[in-house]
Amino acid sequence: MKKLIVVIAVLGMAALPAAMAVGGSLADCGTARLKGYLGERLDAMIANHVAATDVDYITAPFLEKTETKRWWQTEFWGKWMHSAVPYLGYCGSEKLRALIDRGVERMIASQELNGYIGNYPDELRCGEGWDVWGMKYTLMGLLHYYDWKRHEESNNSSRLSSNISRPTSSAALDACRRLCDYVIAEIGPNGRRGRELWQTGNWSGYASSSILEPVMFLYKRTKERKYLDFAAYIVKGMSEPEAGPRLVDLALKGVSVADRNGYGNTPETGGGYVMKHNRWKAYEMMSCYQGLLEYSEELRVKSEELGTGREEVERLRLAAIKTAEDIVKEEINLAGGSASSEAWFHGARKQHLPYVRLQETCVTTTWMRFCEKLLDVTGDPKWADEIEKTFYNAYLAALKADGSEFAGYTPLSGGRYHGQHHCYMHTDCCNANGPRGFLVFLRELFRTADGVATFNFYASALVKETLPSGRAVAFDMYSLYPRDNSARIVSHTTGPLKLRLRIPSWSAKTVVKVNGAAQQNVASGGYFTIDCDWRLGDIVEIAFDMPVVAHVREHHVAFTRGPVLLARDSRFADGDLMEPLRGGIRDGQVQPAFAAVRAPSDDLWMTFAATLPLGSHHANPEGRLPATVFFCDYASAGNTWRRDDFYRTWFPVELGP
C-alpha cells in the first residue's frame, strides 16, 4: 500500500505536496490533528521533550571529536531530528524551527574536508564501536531536514525573505552525499580501511549494516546509481558472509530471532551490554530489516532496469515478513513490548517472569516503525493490530506523564523510573528515540491510496487529505477509544469515495452503522469498506466487542481488554498485589466480573473494578468469598515515577499438592 503524503497546514505552515519526495517525505507527520487524551499527550511530549532539547549539547560531540571509548554519542542528534522535523510540521513551533536550523548549522560546520561527520579520531573510524551507526543517524537527520527545506523553498515561504540565515536544502543534501561518499571510500568495495562494512561495529554487523536505510533514502532523492550500488553491497554483506548478519537465509530457514547464534559465528557467552559477534540484539536487527524493505521495494520498481528477478525481490521481502511474524509469535508480550537487556529471548512464553531490563524503549519504538513499514508494503492490517497494541501499552507506558522523557526500560511488573546516562551525557538512546514512536500512530491513523481512504486507528481527530485528482477529503472522529468501545466519524466529504475501517482481530463482533443503518459482513482481522456517495454530515458509528480476557502462563494470569493490558496499582490500596488467585481461570476465558468504574484520580486513564476469587484461605467461610480489587490500563500503572508506587500485570495462581 503506497502512501499519499500530505501534511495539514498548521499555524500558517504550508502543507507538504503529495509528490514531495520519491518514496514519501521524511518530514511527513500524517494528516491527523489529535484531540482529547492522545492529543494532550502528544502536545506535552512535543513541548516538554522535543522542543525542550538542548541542541547545542547533543551536537557538541561532533565539534569536539574527543571520542576514545568507541561509544555512541553521535546517534542522539539524528534520532532527535527524525521526530523534530515532522513535529515542526504538526505544531508550527518557531522555537522548534530555530533549534532544528541551529543543529543543522552546527552539524554541517563540523564536517571535515573528506566528508566525515562524527566524533571519532581517524585511527578509530569505521572500525570497532558505533562510528558507522552514528553516521547512519546523521544521514537520517540531514535527510529529514532536506525534505522539509526543499518543500519550504519550493513554496517560496515568506520566512525565506527574513534576515535570518538558515541552511539550504542543497547544503543538507550535499553534506549527505559527502558523508555517504566517505563511508563508501573507507569501507565500501575495495575501501581504504581494508575491511567490509559488516565487519565493523557490533552484533555480527547488525549495527553498521543498518545504514542501508538512509543510503536508500539518499538514493531515492539523488537517483545517483553509486548509492544504489552501495546499497547492493550492504545487502550482500547482510546476507552472504557466513559470520555476518545472515538476515536473509536464517529467516527463510525459519530460525527464530532468539536462536540465530552459532550459524557461522562464534557468539560470546559471558554476557555484556555490547557484544561483537552475537546476533540476538533486537533494535539493530529490526533496523536492518527496515533497510532491506526499502531496498527490496526499489528493486521491485526497477527490476527490469536492474536485471533483478522478481524471485530475489520476494526473497528479501519474505525474509523481513517471516522475521516479523516470528517476533510476534515468540517475542511480543501482552503489552506489545519485547526483549530483555535489549536481546531476543523467546520472551512471549516468559513474560510472567521477572526478567531483567524488559522492554527497552528503543526496541518498542523500532518495532512500531518496522510494523509501519510492513503495513505500507503489504497492506495487511495485522501489522496495524501490532502497532495499536504496542502504542497503547508499552509505548505510552514509557512516556512520562508530563511528556518530558521516556523510561529506558518498562517492566511488566514493578515501577517506572528515569533512563540511563549514556556516554557520560545527561541523555540516553531511549530519550532520543522515543518521540519517533508517536509518529507511527499519527502517520497511519488515516491514509489514502488509489482513491481509497483508510482509518487504521481510532481517536478523536480531524483528518484531511488531498487525492491525486486534487479532490479534498476530510472526516472528523470523536472517540474515547480504547477507554470506550465506540467511535463516531462525521463526513466533511462530498461525492463517491471508498472508506475502509480496520476491524481489530480481537473484536469478535463489531457493529458498524452508516447513518443509523447497521452494515452486514463486518469481520474481525480485516478491513470493512463503505462504498458510497458521501454527503456533508454523514455519520459512521462503530462499536467494538471489547470483553476482558484472561491469559494464562505457567500458573500465572494476566488480563486484557481489547488492545489494552490491565494492571493492579499500589495507589488503589486494595490489598496484596502478590495475593494468588484460585485455580480455574482458563487461557482465553472471557471475564464478566470486570466493570469500568470512575477513575479515582486524573493520573489514571481508565479503571475497572473486578470481583475475583483471591486468596488461599477458602476453607474459611469468609475467606471463600471473592474480593473486589481495582485495575487500570498498563500505561497508567506506575506513571507517577515515584518509588513508593508499584504495579503488577501477571498474578500468581495457587498450586495444588
Are 640 and 415 in contact, with CB atoms under 8 Å apart? no
Q: Does the pLDDT at position 424 exceed 90?
A: no
Q: Among 159-163, 177-181, 628-632, whose mean pLDDT is lowest?
A: 159-163
Nearest to 565 by CA among 455, 472, 650: 650
- Phi and psi at residue 458, to the nearest 5°: -130, 120
Per-residue pLDDT, 405: 96
pLDDT band at residue 177 under the 50/70/90 scheme: very high
Three-class DSSP labels, 251-282: HHCCCCHHHCCCCCCCCCCCCCCCCCCCCCEH
Are 132 and 120 in contact, with CB atoms under 8 Å apart? no
Residue 49 burial by Cβ neighbours in a 10 Å radius (0-12, 13-18, 19+): buried
Could you tell me which residues come within 8 angstroms of residue 223 by beta carbon, excluding any fewer than 6 positions away?
Answer: none
Of residues 151 and 35, more confidently modeled = 35
The mean pLDDT value for 434-459 works out to: 95
pLDDT in tens, 52-84: 999 999 999 999 998 988 998 999 999 999 999
Q: Does the pLDDT at position 531 exceed 80?
A: yes
Q: Do strands 32-34 and 461-466 pair parallel, antiparallel, or not at all (unpaired)?
A: antiparallel
Per-residue pLDDT, 158: 44
Q: Is the dihedral of CA 18, 23, 29, 34 positive or negative?
A: positive
Q: Which domains does the chain show, CATH number per domain?
A: 1-159 (no CATH), 450-543 (2.60.420), 548-652 (no CATH)
Are 145 and 220 in contact, with CB atoms under 8 Å apart? no
B/e letters for 459-492, b = 16+ CB within 10 Å, e = fewer, are bbbbbbbbbeeeeebbbbbbbbbbbebebebbbb
Per-residue pLDDT, 157: 54
Q: Does the pLDDT at position 3 exceed 70?
A: no
Q: Does the pLDDT at position 163 exceed 50?
A: no
Per-residue pLDDT, 16: 42
Nearest to 363 by CA among 404, 409, 405: 409
Instruction: Please report the DSSP string for 193-222 in residue order.
Output: TSS-GGGSSSTTTHHHHTTHHHHHHHHHHH
Are 560 and 635 in contact, with CB atoms under 8 Å apart? no
Per-residue pLDDT, 426: 87
Average pLDDT, the chain: 92
Q: How far apart are CA 90 and CA 144, in angstroms?
A: 14
Whether cis (ω within 30° of 0) applies to the bond prior to 17 is no
pLDDT in tens, 386-417: 999 999 999 999 999 999 999 999 999 999 98
Are 290 and 262 in contact, with CB atoms under 8 Å apart? no
The mean pLDDT value for 202-213 works out to: 96
Helices (H) and strands (E) in the chain, counts: 18, 19
pLDDT in tens, 248-286: 999 999 999 999 999 999 999 877 778 899 999 999 999
pLDDT in tens, 470-506: 899 999 999 999 999 999 999 999 999 999 999 999 9
The cell for 247 is 538476515
B/e letters for 51-87, b = 16+ CB within 10 Å, e = fewer, are bebebeebbbbbeeeebeeebbbbbbbbbbbbbbbbb
Residue 40: Cβ within 10 Å count: 12
Q: Among 160-174, 279-293, 571-585, whose mean pLDDT is lowest?
A: 160-174
The mean pLDDT value for 353-360 works out to: 95
Of residues 620 and 40, more confidently modeled = 40
Q: Do strands 452-455 and 495-503 pair parallel, antiparallel, or not at all (unpaired)?
A: parallel
Per-residue pLDDT, 429: 87
pLDDT band at residue 623 under the 50/70/90 scheme: confident
The cell for 488 is 463516531
- Phi and psi at residue 36, to the nearest 5°: 65, -150
Q: Does the pLDDT at position 5 exceed 90?
A: no
B/e letters for 187-205, b = 16+ CB within 10 Å, e = fewer, are bbeebeeeebbbbbbbbbb
The mean pLDDT value for 587-593 works out to: 95
Q: How far apart are CA 468 and CA 89, in angstroms?
A: 21
Instruction: Please report the DSSP string for 228-252 in residue order.
Output: HHHHHHHHHHHHSSTTS--TTHHHH
Per-residue pLDDT, 425: 85
Per-residue pLDDT, 308: 67
Residue 435: Cβ within 10 Å count: 25
Taking only Cα atoms into account, the Rg of the chain, rounded to an integer number of angstroms, comes to 25
The mean pLDDT value for 630-641 works out to: 97
Nearest to 578 by CA among 415, 413, 417: 413
Percent of the chain at pLDDT exceeding 70: 94
**Amino acid, res. 420:** Q
Per-residue pLDDT, 164: 57
HSE-CB for 167 with a 13 A CA cutoff: 27
